[in-house]
């Protein structure tokens, strides 16, 4: 019965982070995690605790990233059963962080009060999430904090970021679990924690935009909706022609095209010549950002080029996708099962500088680089001019047209909340959108359709948020320290009579 309950709770947590744009996702996430916290508090056997925690976490992660099998089987040529097995192994491997951390917390604080154990479990959960987000290149997709993009805790995003929100939600979930187990808990206390707390988390307070009228401009989003197989079979010529035609007709201040939109143009000189021959841009005031693959000797970089005031600016993607864009040397044998085009890009090096055009400063990310808020925060520290807008160009066609697209949009919204800057997103299949600095989508193209749209947005010229300041300097280290200190102090601050040690 416990296993079934944990699986159901994991399903609900996965649902809460599936890109569901509603404040109810926040309450649902906290309720579902409280089931695991209750299980951990009641457990007296470390083996069953480890298995139960692993089952919950592996199920939640599997349901959150199941779309990975599409890229492996449909586009990578891997047999479907093996692709599903690979996703299961990924989810199960990542779940080991949480199983080990929760068991460590239980072992350290087994003599603590319910409150002490709850604090230790919340800290341990936070440490596991930080490990998942950092170690082995990091893969924090499906973080519980994203469930709160439309909830009450979104107001803390500019201060603590999505990882901090995940920690806060873990603490609230642990408090809910304690209320179930306390023998002297009153009916009113139970009602407060199990009804009013989720309802309160679902409330989404309105935020005031910081957008400046001096930084108001228009942006054209281009979305070709090209199948990756077709793209690399014909060299992307038809797709490139469509993009160039759309650029020729746009009068927007900024034109934004997705990742690898001009895949057949591999040098900056060729890019410059192509734009000149096509009459792009229409004026020196117009800027263009487009994804391509820049050749570096015999290798290629996943790149973005920007035409800014008569010069070509370039950015090479620095945080590559494991197996999709590079293969760790120790796992190179996997390549015999995969046949993904251009799956070994070179990694970008050096300082990650924004693109600057007139008074506009664009903090650029490619594909899932916007998943790492602490890396985007560094752009506010390394440059004299703070970004006025965030830009992400992606090609999510590798992962189908379902959940991955919705999750990516939620990720973009959270970055806008953390950094209080508008987010401009151009993707091959969707969602291509403009998000204001309060995390609200002000316009987007229909997904899985070839389309273009010109939208208005306002850049932000304000000091960096508190999150941008500390995460830009130290990454997640402050959260690591706070969670570790909280874990080891929880047993000292909340003690009770000695009870048998879990075995």
Active site residues: 259, 317, 367
The three-state (H, E, C) secondary structure of 104-169, written as one string = HHHHHCCCECHHHHHHHHHHHHHHHHHHHHHHHHCCCCCCHHHHHCCCHHHHHHHHHHHHHHHHHH
Of all helices (H) and strands (E), which one includes residue 249? helix 237-249
Contact by Cβ (8 Å): 148, 201: yes
Coil, strand, or helix at residue 198? helix
C-alpha atoms less than 13 angstroms from C-alpha of 318 in its C-beta half-sphere: 14
Query: Is the separation of the CB atoms in 223 and 451 below 8 Å?
Result: yes
- Rounded to whole angstroms, the Cα distance separating 316 from 302 reads 6
Q: SS3 of 45, please?
A: coil
What sign does the CA torsion over 254, 259, 263, 267 have?
Answer: positive
Residue with tokens 């068991």: 103
Name, in order, each residue with C-beta under 8 angstroms of 91's C-beta and a sequence gap of 6 or more.
Answer: 58, 59, 61, 62, 65
- Find the helix or strand (DSSP H, E) in which 35 lies: helix 24-42
- DSSP 8-state secondary structure symbol assigned to residue 259: T
- 389-394 and 451-458 beta bridge pairing: unpaired
Listing DSSP states for 305-363 in one string gives EEEETTEEEEEE--SPPBTTTB--GGGGGGGGG---TT--PPPP-S--PPEEETTEEEE
């Amino acid at each position: 019965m416990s296993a079934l309950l944990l699986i159901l709770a994991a399903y609900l947590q996965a649902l809460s982070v599936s890109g569901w744009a509603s404040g109810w996702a926040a309450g649902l996430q906290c309720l579902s995690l409280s089931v695991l916290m209750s299980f951990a508090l009641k457990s007296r056997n470390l083996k069953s605790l480890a298995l139960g925690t692993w089952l919950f976490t592996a199920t939640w992660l599997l349901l959150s990233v199941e779309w990975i099998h599409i890229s492996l089987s449909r586009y990578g040529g891997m047999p479907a059963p093996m692709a599903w097995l690979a996703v299961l192994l990924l989810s199960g491997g990542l779940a080991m962080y949480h199983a080990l951390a929760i068991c460590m917390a239980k072992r350290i604080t087994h003599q603590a009060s319910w409150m002490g154990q709850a604090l230790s479990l919340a800290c341990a959960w936070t440490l596991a999430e930080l490990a998942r987000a950092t170690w082995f290149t990091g893969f924090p997709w499906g973080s519980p904090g994203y469930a709160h993009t439309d909830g009450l805790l979104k107001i803390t995003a500019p201060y603590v970021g999505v990882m901090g929100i995940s920690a806060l939600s873990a603490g609230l979930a642990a408090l809910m679990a304690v209320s179930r187990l306390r023998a002297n808990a009153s009916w009113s206390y139970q009602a407060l924690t199990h009804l009013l707390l989720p309802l309160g988390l679902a409330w989404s307070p309105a935020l005031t935009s910081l957008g400046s009228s001096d930084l108001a401009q228009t942006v054209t989003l281009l979305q070709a909706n090209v199948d990756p197989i077709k793209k690399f079979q014909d060299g992307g010529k038809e797709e490139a022609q469509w993009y160039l035609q759309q650029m020729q007709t746009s009068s927007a201040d900024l034109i934004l095209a997705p990742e690898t939109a001009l895949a057949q143009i591999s040098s900056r000189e060729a890019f410059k010549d192509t734009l000149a021959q096509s009459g792009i841009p229409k004026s020196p005031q117009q800027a263009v950002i487009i994804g391509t693959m820049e050749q570096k000797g015999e290798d290629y970089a996943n790149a973005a080029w920007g035409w800014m005031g008569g010069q070509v600016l370039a950015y090479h993607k620095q945080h590559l996708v494991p197996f999709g864009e590079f293969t760790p040397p120790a796992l190179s044998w996997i390549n015999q099962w995969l046949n993904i085009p251009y799956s070994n890009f070179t990694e970008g090096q050096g300082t990650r500088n924004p693109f600057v055009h007139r008074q506009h400063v664009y903090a650029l990310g490619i594909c899932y680089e916007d998943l790492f808020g602490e890396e985007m925060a560094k752009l506010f520290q390394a440059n004299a001019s703070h970004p006025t807008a965030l830009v992400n160009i992606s090609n999510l066609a590798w992962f189908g047209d379902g959940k991955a697209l919705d999750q990516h949009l939620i990720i973009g919204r959270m970055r806008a909340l953390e950094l209080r800057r508008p987010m401009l997103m151009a993707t091959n299949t969707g969602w291509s959108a403009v998000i204001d600095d309060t995390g609200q989508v002000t316009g987007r193209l229909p997904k899985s359709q070839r389309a273009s749209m010109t939208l208005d947005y306002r850049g932000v010229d304000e000091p960096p948020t508190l999150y941008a300041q500390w995460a830009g300097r130290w990454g997640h280290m402050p959260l690591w320290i706070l969670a570790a200190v909280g874990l080891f102090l929880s047993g000292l601050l909340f003690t009770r009579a000695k009870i048998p040690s879990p075995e």
